[in-house]
């Protein structure tokens, strides 16, 4: 019922003659083609009427075959040759006459039709393919049973599988970090005594990192927090990581920072079993971040210090965390770090899983 190739000048002429765009759309898509030439869209009726002498139906078959040959020749030229020509769909599967007419004058492509094979084609689900080219034909001629529904199912299944795999690729385990301290050897000595060696409490997910048995107290202008866990191994610079709730308790305004970015940060007083010291700086509210290896970053398609979002689904408290900083190192293991305030807001615990959301995701 569609017009196929039309000179654009003809369309302009129809519009100038008073046809509306809606009428032109109806004409080109629903009242042209075989229907426009013969009054029917059914090739079986057209072939029957052509055999009975209907010149309009004979013209329709001639034009139909001419258009098919033209496109085969055009695309063969674009592709630099053709390996196979396949007939399918209602007409391609069922009309030996149309297949015969379409293959006329295509011998230059090495496409030689076997007339007996062409007439004998009977496709079923058990035999969905038939070859109708002569032995030795350089281009194979095939008749293929169409199954649009199965093709759509396969396409949809492939798309869904790719989306599921992509979602799995973007999954990230979650670790919830309570307030903690990273201290230098000098500060550890002041709080726990000279030559004190940290005692391992438990290994952390990141290689070489561990929590210690040692705890200390934080003392701020407004209050104190006891039992703050010390992390190992010792660092070059002292760093205390607290949540927003902890800031209120201590009376400290700690900026949101990535670990190690300590410029212009407030200090706090530390108290341990062997002494007390006051840090001039080093208190931060840790920016939410994802540790990942170089391989993970390449697989996911992100770079060091890039900002992403992470979606979490947590039984009625679903959230999307924005401004999550990616931190990449060959030694890192994939893990999203949230503080206790952030985790509580979404009803999360260590071991839960989120999904990285890239721009446009």
The tens digit of pLDDT for each residue in 57-113 reads 999 999 999 999 999 999 999 999 999 999 999 999 999 999 999 999 999 999 999
Terminal alpha carbon distance of the chain: 40
> What is the spatial distance between Cα 51 and Cα 45, in angstroms, rounded to a whole number?
10
Other beta carbons within 10 Å of 164: 10
Tell me what pLDDT residue 361 has. Answer: 47
Tell me what pLDDT residue 317 has. Answer: 84
206 backbone φψ class: left, alpha, beta (φ>0; ψ -120 to 50): beta
Strands 171-177 and 129-131: unpaired
Predicted TM-score (pTM) of this structure: 0.55
- Quote the Cα angle for 342-183-199, to 5°: 95
Tell me what pLDDT residue 315 has. Answer: 79
Tell me what pLDDT residue 168 has. Answer: 64
Beta bridge partners of 319: 312
Tell me which H or E stretch contains 310. Answer: strand 307-312
> What is the spatial distance between Cα 360 and Cα 188, in angstroms, rounded to a whole number?
46
Helix (H, G, I), strand (E, B) or coil at 223: coil
Residues of the chain under the 70 pLDDT cut: 163-168, 359-361
Tens digit of each residue's pLDDT (9 = 90 or more) over 299-341: 888 999 999 999 998 878 889 999 999 999 999 999 999 999 9
Tell me what pLDDT residue 164 has. Answer: 64
Helix (H, G, I), strand (E, B) or coil at 167: helix
């Amino acid at each position: 019922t569609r017009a196929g190739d039309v000179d654009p000048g003809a369309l302009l002429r129809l519009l100038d003659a008073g046809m509306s765009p809606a009428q032109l759309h109806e004409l080109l898509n629903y009242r042209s083609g075989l229907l426009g030439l013969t009054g029917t869209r059914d090739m079986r009726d057209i072939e029957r009427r052509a055999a009975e002498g209907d010149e309009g139906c004979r013209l329709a078959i001639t034009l139909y075959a001419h258009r098919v040959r033209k496109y085969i020749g055009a695309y063969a030229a674009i592709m630099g040759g053709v390996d196979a020509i396949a007939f399918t769909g209602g007409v391609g599967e069922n009309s030996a006459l149309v297949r015969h007419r379409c293959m006329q004058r295509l011998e230059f492509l090495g496409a030689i039709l076997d007339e007996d094979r062409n007439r004998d084609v009977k496709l079923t689900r058990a035999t969905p393919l038939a070859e109708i080219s002569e032995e030795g034909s350089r281009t194979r001629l095939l008749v293929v049973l169409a199954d649009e529904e199965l093709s759509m199912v396969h396409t949809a299944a492939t798309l869904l599988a790719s989306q599921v795999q992509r979602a799995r690729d973007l999954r990230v385990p979650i670790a919830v970090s309570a307030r903690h301290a990273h201290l230098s050897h000098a500060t550890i000595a002041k709080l726990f005594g000279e030559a004190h060696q940290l005692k391992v409490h438990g290994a952390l997910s990141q290689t070489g990192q561990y929590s210690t048995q040692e705890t200390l107290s934080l003392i701020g202008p407004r209050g104190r927090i006891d039992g703050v866990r010390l992390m190992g191994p010792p660092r070059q610079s002292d760093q205390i990581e607290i949540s927003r709730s902890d800031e209120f308790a201590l009376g400290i305004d700690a900026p949101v920072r990535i670990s190690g970015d300590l410029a212009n940060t407030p200090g706090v007083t530390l108290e341990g079993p062997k002494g007390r010291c006051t840090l001039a700086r080093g208190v931060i509210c840790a920016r939410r971040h994802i540790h990942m290896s170089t391989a993970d970053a390449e697989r996911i398609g992100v770079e060091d210090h890039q900002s992403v979002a992470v979606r979490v689904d947590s039984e009625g408290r679903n959230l999307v965390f924005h401004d999550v900083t990616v931190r990449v190192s060959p030694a890192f293991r994939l893990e999203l770090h949230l503080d206790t305030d952030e985790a509580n807001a979404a009803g999360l615990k260590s071991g839960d899983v989120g999904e990285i959301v890239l721009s446009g995701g």
